Amino acid sequence: KKSHYRKFKIKTVAGNNDFACMKEVLIRRLNEIATSDDESFSSIPDLLVIDGGKGQLAYAMEAQRETGREDIEILSLAKREEEVFLGSAPTTSIVLPKDSVALQLLQRIRDEAHRFAITFHRNLRSKHLSESALKSIQGVGKILCARLIKEFGSVEEIRLKTPEEIAKVDGVSYPLAQRIIEALNKAEDKNEGANEDVKEGNKEDSQLASEVKSEENL
């Protein structure tokens, strides 16, 4: 169930190393079994499904060994040919029929993990871009940006206010309030245009999936 979905931010890996990131996440996840009060973490998984091929599986199995959780079944699903690698026979791939119910279930699990992680990544990026747009407005800066967000809750809420409402904030003149709304509306238009581009293809999704797949946990 979705209330059991969790996100991990990488803490120990420098640079872009998918294998090491996956290992870190699994070690943290498996260590939580014995110590966490969180229901979704304290329960022992019946199966670990890894997104990737033999390389990712090897690192995942290292995480199992280091945490003493080799008793949990594990497999990986390699996307290109949809090959399945089992922890019990990691060098031999299994190619299931495309209409196999088991394969379709694994694909759905993987795709849902991607969707969840990509949505989180986009939200982080959107928040960063929004705050950057506000701070970059002439006359705003870091301090006034923080004051405005504290007053209204978010950059989006600021964008929806009237100049009169924004001008009530200490340090904001009416002309500056007008500039803020105009600049944020322009930034929103650009963001909507970017979203339309994404709908026309899945290139961004593929890139984001690559960036965040080691941070996924369902």
Q: Which pLDDT value is given to residue 40?
A: 76
Tally of helices (H runs) and strands (E runs) in the chain: 9, 6
Residue 52 near residue 25, CB atoms below 8 Å: no
**pLDDT per position as a tens digit, 15-41:** 889 899 999 999 999 998 878 787 778
Give the span between the Cα atoms of 42 and 35, in whole angstroms. Answer: 7
**Which tokens belong to 58?**
């090897």
**What is the DSSP code string of 49-115?**
EEESSHHHHHHHHHHHHHHT-TTSEEEEEETTTTEEEETTEEEEEEE--TT-HHHHHHHHHHHHHHH
Mean pLDDT of 91-100: 94
Domain 125-203 top-level CATH class: mainly alpha
Task: With cut-offs at 50, 70 and 90, classify the pLDDT of residue 192.
Answer: low
The two tokens of residue 88 are 């019990």
User: Where do the CATH 3.30.420.340 domains begin and end in the chain?
Assistant: 2-106
* Architecture category of domain 2-106 in CATH: 2-Layer Sandwich (3.30)
* Cα within 13 Å of Cα(148), Cβ side: 31
* Whether this model's pTM surpasses 0.75: no
Question: Which is nearest to 48 in space by CA: 63, 34, 35, 36?
Answer: 63
Instruction: DSSP for 177-198, please give it.
Output: HHHHHHHHHHHHHHHHHHHHHH
